[in-house]
Amino acid sequence: MTPIREEIVHVNGHPKKMIMFLHGYIDDADTIDARLQYMIDNLDDVVIRVPLSPYCCEVHEGKKQWYSMHRFDPNDDRKFVKTMNECAACYDKMGLGLMEAYSYLKPYMENCLNEYELEEKDLFICGFSQGATLAIYSSLLAEDRVAGCVSFGGMIAPHSYLLKNYLNTPDFLLIHGDQDNLVRYDALEFTKKHLKGMGSKVETLTIKDENHRISDEGVRAMVKFIKKRMG
């Protein structure tokens, strides 16, 4: 697997916690970083890392992806099926893509933690869209319980695999726009139900009249969630 070599890093004070924020599909680190200014300005003694996936997006040459969507859902069925269960079945087919993405994200996260002499218990894994789904996946499969996970417009996938193979149950904050046009709003309740069934504490935030993006309201909620767990 190609290693992650590009990132944006913000260091505030003497880092006691690390926040990893994963960009989405057809996305990049610069775009995400611009949406995180409130967090950058309002958290002390943290290091915030926004890694750039090493893989070019299959549908936009200038953007990135953590794994191929069309490889597992060539007709974008996940966007058009009628029920949440049918949608979840589409995402379940992406298990191999998530596994491959985690195989190169995991050593990157370990190296980042080692750089600041931190451990997984000091790590918040956050993400948007495809990056949010990867953040949930990574948090559940971390060898030691991470400090927390924040998902913007993501969902648990592949849920059938994770229900049987999860290793830890960190706290989660799930944020979703009720007018999301790419990852259906039903994914919020679906993900919450399964995470709580595993034993995680789950907070949710619905952004009214919001589509598929990182909102200012969501970023403020993320900062509040992280501060509460920083001690």
What integer pLDDT is reported at residue 29 of this predicted model?
97
Q: Which CATH number fits domain 6-230: 3.40.50.1820, 1.20.1730.10, 3.60.70.12, 3.40.50.1370?
A: 3.40.50.1820
Give the tens place of pLDDT for each residue, 6-37: 999 999 999 999 999 999 999 999 999 999 99
How far apart are alpha carbons 165 and 215 in whole angstroms? 32
Cβ-based neighbour number of residue 143 at 10 Å? 10
Mean pLDDT in residue range 152-156: 98
Residue 231 has pLDDT above 90, yes or no: no
Mean pLDDT in residue range 47-51: 98
- pLDDT band per the 50, 70, 90 thresholds, residue 2: confident
- pLDDT band per the 50, 70, 90 thresholds, residue 165: very high
SS (H, E, C) 191-229: HHHHHHHHCCCEEEEEECCCCCCCCHHHHHHHHHHHHHH
SS3 51: strand
Give the tens place of pLDDT for each residue, 59-72: 998 999 999 999 99
Residue 135 has pLDDT above 90, yes or no: yes
- pLDDT band per the 50, 70, 90 thresholds, residue 51: very high
What integer pLDDT is reported at residue 69 of this predicted model?
96
- pLDDT band per the 50, 70, 90 thresholds, residue 38: very high
Query: Could you tell me the pTM of the whole model?
Result: 0.97
- Above pLDDT 90, what percent of the chain? 98
